[in-house]
Chain A
Amino acid sequence: DQQVKQNSPSLSVQEGRISILNCDYTNSMFDYFLWYKKYPAEGPTFLISISSIKDKNEDGRFTVFLNKSAKHLSLHIVPSQPGDSAVYFCAASARSGRRALTFGSGTRLQVQP
């Protein structure tokens, strides 16, 4: 039972355009959401996060939106750059229970020059 789902395995965009990566979750106990970026042969690196008390968080070219009623979050990258090409993982955690991060299956983003 996947509690965090990324339904698009891959996404290709042109340099300078917007990249939108989507993520859905099913566990209502999740109250903290994160996006990680992963290059081949490296560990995931933290990109941006959002608490459930907010609906938007921005950090430079990266913005995460949270829609709690729809149990949906998205990552917007504007403008997209070739160096953004990587696999992006959505993750979520809850204050109770394991408090571990639960990850989606990832979306491979390719930014074409």
Chain B
Amino acid sequence: NAGVTQTPKFQVLKTGQSMTLQCAQDMNHEYMSWYRQDPGMGLRLIHYSVGAGITDQGEVPNGYNVSRSTTEDFPLRLLSAAPSQTSVYFCASRMTGGANTEAFFGQGTRLTVV
């Protein structure tokens, strides 16, 4: 069982470069989300999606774009990387509706912007 798969695991970018963090789940979950984890701040919501074709902003959306063309995939795009985006990024999925169910997380992508 793959669960939630994130690629790459590590990435170094130069300021101004763009890239896409990939996330795929095989549990047929409708609800998917992206978080970033920074020291002392827990996990903060970047963007989320309640189903294919539907996305919305979380707490810290600036500098990131998402799309949801299929139930399985939820890529996160960094438009023009900045050092402030150095962080560990986690993708998560939850069952239909997202209420009163646990979220399953990928292993994370550690991104460094220099």
Which residues of A are interface residues toward B (Cβ below 8 A)? 4, 6, 9, 31-32, 34, 36, 41-46, 49, 51, 89, 93-95, 98-106
**When the two chains form the complex, which single residue of B50, B100, B103, B107 contacts A42, counting CB atoms closer than 8 Å?**
B107
Q: Give the interface centre of A4, A32, A43, A95 by most chain B CB atoms within 10 Å.
A: A43
B5 CB, nearest partner CB in chain A, Å: 11
- CB neighbours of A101 from chain B (8 A): 33, 43, 45, 92, 103
**Range, interface on chain B:** 20 to 34
Which residues of B are interface residues toward A (Cβ below 8 A)? 4, 6, 31, 33, 35, 40-45, 48, 50, 56, 58, 90, 92, 97-100, 102-108
Main secondary structure of the interface of A (DSSP, over half): loop
CB–CB A103/B43 < 8 A: yes
CB–CB A105/B42 < 8 A: yes
Apart from A51-B100, A99-B31, what are 14 other A-B pairs with CB-CB below 8 Å? A6-B42, A31-B100, A32-B99, A34-B103, A42-B107, A44-B90, A45-B105, A89-B43, A95-B99, A98-B45, A99-B50, A101-B33, A103-B43, A106-B42
